């Protein structure tokens, strides 16, 4: 099945309490919050936007938040929190990128060489560069829609890998 990325939006104050360790994330019922499953695209999208597999510079580093300073103890891989203003900043940065600009950032051979997930898992062949870009673009657009709704409601979010 692979490692999948999942977002859920919640009240910004609750995100702050979770990030501070005042409320344990595992004590919440995640299904009670609006969410988005981005399948196995999480690391590839982060790499596309930030040029690295972790710790990307904000605001694009907030799109798939994998920064160690946002880490929360949760599950096997932990979780990452974003405050409402960080969600808004990421949305603004995403809104400035269209498909053509994303394509300019896309370097399939380098992503293969760097073993960016899910490419390193061998599920995409060397000939599927366009198909893989389409897969990332679809999920990037879903993330942008989810961030748009989350920002419009003034919410923060939690991202985790399962």
Residue 125's pLDDT is what?
A: 61
Q: Which residue has the tokens 């919050």?
A: 33
Which pTM does this prediction carry? 0.94
pLDDT band, residue 111 (cuts 50/70/90): very high
Beginning with the edge strand found earlier in the chain, give each strand of the sheet holding 71-72 in spatial order: 35-37, 5-11, 155-161, 79-82, 71-72
Mean pLDDT of 135-147: 98
- 146 pLDDT above the threshold of 90: yes
Q: Are 35 and 7 in contact (CB under 8 A)?
A: yes
- 136 pLDDT above the threshold of 70: yes
- For residue range 66-108, list pLDDT tens digits in order: 876 657 988 888 899 999 999 999 999 999 999 999 999 999 9
- 124 pLDDT above the threshold of 90: no
Q: CA angle at residue 141 from 128 to 94, to 5 degrees?
A: 110
Residue 55's pLDDT is what?
A: 85
Rounded Cα distance, 79 and 125, in Å: 30
């Amino acid at each position: 099945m692979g490692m999948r990325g999942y977002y859920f939006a919640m009240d910004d104050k609750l995100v702050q309490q979770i990030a501070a360790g005042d409320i344990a994330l595992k004590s919440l019922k995640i299904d009670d919050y609006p969410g988005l499953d981005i399948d196995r695209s999480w690391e590839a999208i982060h790499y596309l936007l930030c040029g690295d597999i972790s710790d990307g510079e904000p605001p694009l580093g907030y799109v798939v938040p994998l920064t160690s300073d946002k880490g929360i103890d949760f599950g096997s891989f932990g979780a990452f929190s974003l405050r409402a203003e960080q969600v808004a900043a990421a949305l603004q940065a995403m809104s400035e990128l269209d498909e053509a600009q994303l394509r300019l950032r896309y370097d399939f051979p380098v992503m293969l060489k760097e073993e960016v997930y899910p490419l390193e898992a061998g599920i995409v062949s060397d000939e599927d560069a366009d198909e893989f870009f389409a897969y990332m673009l679809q999920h990037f657009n879903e993330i942008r829609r989810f961030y748009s709704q989350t920002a419009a409601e003034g919410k923060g979010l939690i991202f985790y890998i399962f």
